[in-house]
Structure 1
Amino acid sequence: MDQDVNANNSPPAERKLPRDAVAVGVDFGTLSGRAVVVRVSDGAELACAAHTYRHGVITDRLPGTDIDLEPETALQSPEDYREVLRTAVPEALRASGASPEQVVGIGTDFTACTVLPVTADGTPLCELPGQARRPHAWPKLWRHHAAQPEADEINALAAERGEKWLARYGGRVSSEWQFAKALQVLRDDPEVYRRTDRWIEAADWIVWQLCGRETRNVATAGYKGLHQDGAWPSEDFLAALDPGFSDFVRKIDHPLSQLGERAGGLTAEAAAWTGLPEGLPVAVGNIDAHVTAAAARTTGPGRMLAIMGTSTCHVMNSDVRAEVPGMCGLVLGGITPGAWGYEAGQSGVGDIFGWFADNYVPPAYHDEARAQGTGLHELLSAKAAVAPVGAHGLVALDWHSGNRSVLVDHDLSGVLAGMTLATRPEEVYRALVEATAFGTRTVVEAFSASGVPVRDLTVGGGMVRNPFVLQVYADVLNRPLRVVASEHGCAVGAAVHAAVAAGAHPDIHTASAAMGRVREETVDPDPVRAAAYEELYALYRELHDHFGRGGSRSLHRLRALRNAALAGGGTEKGDR
């Protein structure tokens, strides 16, 4: 039962805090979850603990079954999420030296759109008897791209009907989002769709697990659920997509909570999981990149934050409302209450570097890295960094996981042009890093061209540990980069929101100023390299527009051939 007695869920006006008060932030990522304990007064990180998901990303076969999955599927297990609460939170609290009584609140963030079908009481359908063998009963991870045909239908119909909300998403809805994924469930497994009482973002579901009551946050509803100007897409629009889809809004409709509000109090069960006091304030759920703005001190207008990890998400507040082609959404209050929050992104960044290092680097390089006592990425970066810009004669397109912004097309795939028999692994690695930097530049330029100025750029996430990657980005963008001081910016941002929900700070801006941290030194561009990158970027844009804007459909045809061949080779369904 909900322990919160504050009916409107707003933080209390005043609250007597314990000495050395701390907040707990929990970040649910793609492969693992982590918890941090953060001091409320100054943002000092006292401890962090991580838990790797036992099932990871489910892409080939449902756990414990012989059921193969169709291409582009990416699922997860909800029990992995609960295990983060049972393991990482108590471990971080023990390591911090703080007592449970010092904790004033807990906040969470999640990848998005990671979404799951549940019953009216929040039970995931995959945990019901007889449902574990149905792929669509499981949570769909953000990078589940098998709903691209449904996204194409939504885009075509919305454009044909002139739906006003479409412009808020740069003119295209992504296959990663709620409506496309749900329409796929209806088409592929109507029984699962029928049994779904609530279709809910994992960001909101995990809060439900903590405080025992359903809430919906304004960010995921706006960016991933097409909620604009107080309304969802109309029943008439949904019925035009599919008559069976006309009731979908009833599965998601719920009063929306603002970010930084209190969702409820920790239940007895969740308190036992986490080792935290029953009734502890629980912050409203949030998206990983968006919550990090508070940790990065980028809540002011025009301050873009790029969270660079397996993928990259670009978020920014602005006092300007404009239509930016290819963005992932424009939501009032989507990052902080009262401001227009913009989101854009790249579907593959660190994933691309990891794919290349894991599969295409020869054994001699692995041996050399071991002999030097360093990692393979560090070795490739060191070798790549010494060459002049353009010396590899390569240019790549960073679409190995499709394109999120600015083309919003997950049927695109990666391209590497210019290879010869003399091409070295470190040269390919550099070209891939440059491609992701070029992708970020296209995002920044799209905003600027639309009248939404980007004053400065701050970067966070796992990629900030690689100085070579940061330098390439600074040179390609030809602007200094501010760097989030914490390696756990998402979790710290969740802790900042927890402090606001608990009344330790009056609002997110104030809490960000007190608890957020950015490195004093910036990563500055080298003028010579920045100038040299102009021609290489022009080549990138030439290929970008040729393959991505209709000059050639070859990448789409190759993807279709691949999926058809894989589907014909033993999956349960053929080419959709």
Structure 2
Amino acid sequence: MVGVDFGTLSGRAVVARVRDGAELGSAVHAYAHGVIETVLPGTDVRLGPDWALQSPQDWIDVLRLAVPAAIAAAGISLEQVIGLGTDFTACTVLPTTADGTPLCFETPSMPHAWPKLWKHHAAQPHADRINALAAARGEAWLPRYGGKISSEWEFAKGLQVLEEDPGVYARAERWIEAADWIVWQLTGVESRNVCTAGYKGIFQDGSYPSADFLAALNPAFSGFVAKLTAAPSSVELAPLGGLAGRLTARAAEWTTLPEGIAICVGNVDAHVTAAAADAVRPGQMVAIMGTSTCHVMPSDQLAEVPGMCGVVRDGIVPGLWGYEAGQSAVGDIFAWFADTFTAGHSHERLTALAERQAVGQHGLVALDWFGGNRSVLVDHDLSGVIVGQTLATRPEDVYRALIEATAFGARMIVETFEKSGVPVEEFIVAGGLLKNRFLMQVYADVLRCPLSVIGSDQGPALGAAIHAAVAAGAYPDIQRAAAAMGQRTAAAYQPDQARADAYDRLYTQYRTLHETFGDGQMLHTLRAIRNEAGG
């Protein structure tokens, strides 16, 4: 099987053996355009604050370059490949014509014609209006998202396009998640998967928000739902692990794979990783830790968890409720600090210096909101805070405090779930930050629980391959495919009692800061002043 993971800065392909999930070969392709945040490619058109775009050409290049390279690295014949699965960051969404042509291919100088990456937060005012109206009307779907939808999601971004560039909005016959768009390009068949529709498209109990609700936001927004589906008269969502179609001749030329192999229904990078960690049973929370962290967990219980990113039936595993929460920046925080303030200190050097300290020795506590707060406050206009700095504060002190802040944020999420009656039975870590053993131990100590770890460096791509094995008929369902092909080491990190006790004191201070700054009064004002000054 081939799994392809489309990330924030690159795409990666993995070839996995159906029998046991062994990864036979892999390849990575860095996006030529990366994250588009300041100027549109090939133009002098500048973007505003909190914009983040991507290029669809980069995604096609992953199919053209990374997939053949992974096959070559695996040393297998093309005829041995029986299926391909994909996953994407979300909500990464783009406007297209009815045949799937991205509008940015036709009008590259128009910002709203480009795909909006998951971390595009410029739609926060539109999300605020959606939330306020939904709360005032008592919309039944709002509690399924912890009481607030995010600026990152389909409706907020769509409303931003309508109100800032009505021309692009009118030309957009489809408003489609990249996860579904790439499957469309592979199969020639347009589909919508239950995961992105549920978590990012406000699809609950068989329907999207009503036309009446959308018209109350803006009369021209009333027909938005028609752009979200291939069949406007009915909404048919494809199940995870389902067969989306077969590889077309055109896509076979891109990938060098045999025409007609099975292509799995699209999925989200975090959610598909649960299968790669064989964490598809109730109470198994997977934290995919990279530039940001996404927390996903299946459960047999439905509850309203404050600030969760969503609870969706069949959203991770068919037959169970799937919960999502997250932190908008984690690895990005460490990278920002190391790149900006440490005079060339590497992450390894900063980690080694920080590790020598006793808990609390730096005298600092920080809020992990440098990319806003996804859970539990759902406010992307919040910003980071560091308290306790003196003239004696050193770079490694701040670096450690930032690591601890992200761990405190994770504990806040876990505690919120458990207080809402959704128990977290096992905490499993996946993603690039697994390589930092010190960071993992801090998390175990702060969370006061063992950490299990995924057995793959390419969790999303392996998860996509596992789902593709189901689509190709190699396994009857995701649970059995995950049991055979997934990889996890249970309780790989154990908490230290003394450090855990010391962290409880710091966590109390973190909660105080959380409550003090969480209303946004000061942090929103500072952001507004920055934006007014052209920052």
Give the alignment's TM-score, normalised by structure 1: 0.91
Q: Which runs of 5+ in 2 are unaligned?
A: 230-234
Equivalent residue of 1:94, what SS?
A: helix
Match of 2:398 among 385, 410, 428: 428
Match of 1:387 among 343, 348, 357: 357
List aligned pairs for 1:422-461, cutoff 5 A: 422-461=392-431
Tell whether 2:96 aligns with 1:108: no
Match of 1:285 among 259, 266, 277: 266
Match of 2:254 among 262, 270, 273: 273
Match of 1:478 among 440, 448, 467: 448
- What's 1:262 paired with? 243
State the 1:519 CA deviation: 2.6
State the 1:520 CA deviation: 5.5
Tell whether 2:105 aligns with 1:120: no
Superposition CA RMSD, Å: 0.8
Equivalent residue of 1:46, what SS?
A: strand
Match of 1:231 among 199, 204, 207: 207
Equivalent residue of 2:467, what SS?
A: helix
- The letter for the 2-side match of 1:176 is E
Tell whether 2:526 aligns with 1:558: yes
Q: Deviations over 1:96-140 (max 9, x none)?
A: 011111111000000000000000000000001xx1110000000
Q: Deviations over 1:404-459 (max 9, x none)?
A: 00000000000011000101111100000000000000000000000000001000
Match of 1:60 among 38, 42, 51: 38
Q: Deviations over 1:159-186 (max 9, x none)?
A: 0000000000000010000000000000
Partners of 2:451 and 2:490 within 8 A in 1: no
Tell whether 2:130 aligns with 1:149: no
Shift in alpha-carbon separation, 1:162–1:521, aligned structure 2, 3 A: closer
2:41 and 2:355 map into 1 onto residues whose CA distance is 42
List aligned pairs for 1:135-534, cutoff 5 A: 135-253=111-229, 254-363=235-344, 366=345, 376-519=346-489, 522-534=492-504
Equivalent residue of 1:35, what SS?
A: strand
- The letter for the 1-side match of 2:521 is R
1:27 and 1:493 map into 2 onto residues whose CA distance is 9
- What's 1:85 paired with? 63
- What's 2:232 paired with? none
1:104 and 1:325 map into 2 onto residues whose CA distance is 42
1:545 and 1:208 map into 2 onto residues whose CA distance is 45
Equivalent residue of 1:536, what SS?
A: helix
Partners of 2:187 and 2:248 within 8 A in 1: yes
2:381 and 2:303 map into 1 onto residues whose CA distance is 27
Aligned-residue identity in percent: 67
Equivalent residue of 1:156, what SS?
A: helix
State the 1:554 CA deviation: 0.7
State the 1:362 CA deviation: 2.4
1:362 and 1:51 map into 2 onto residues whose CA distance is 29
2:343 and 2:2 map into 1 onto residues whose CA distance is 43
Q: Deviations over 1:442-485 (max 9, x none)?
A: 00000000000000100000000000110110000010000001
Equivalent residue of 2:11, what SS?
A: strand
- The letter for the 2-side match of 1:203 is A
- What's 1:571 paired with? none
Give the alignment's TM-score, normalised by structure 2: 0.98
- The letter for the 2-side match of 1:188 is E
Equivalent residue of 1:392, what SS?
A: coil
Q: Which runs of 5+ in 1 are unaligned?
A: 1-22, 367-375, 568-576
Partners of 2:96 and 2:175 within 8 A in 1: yes
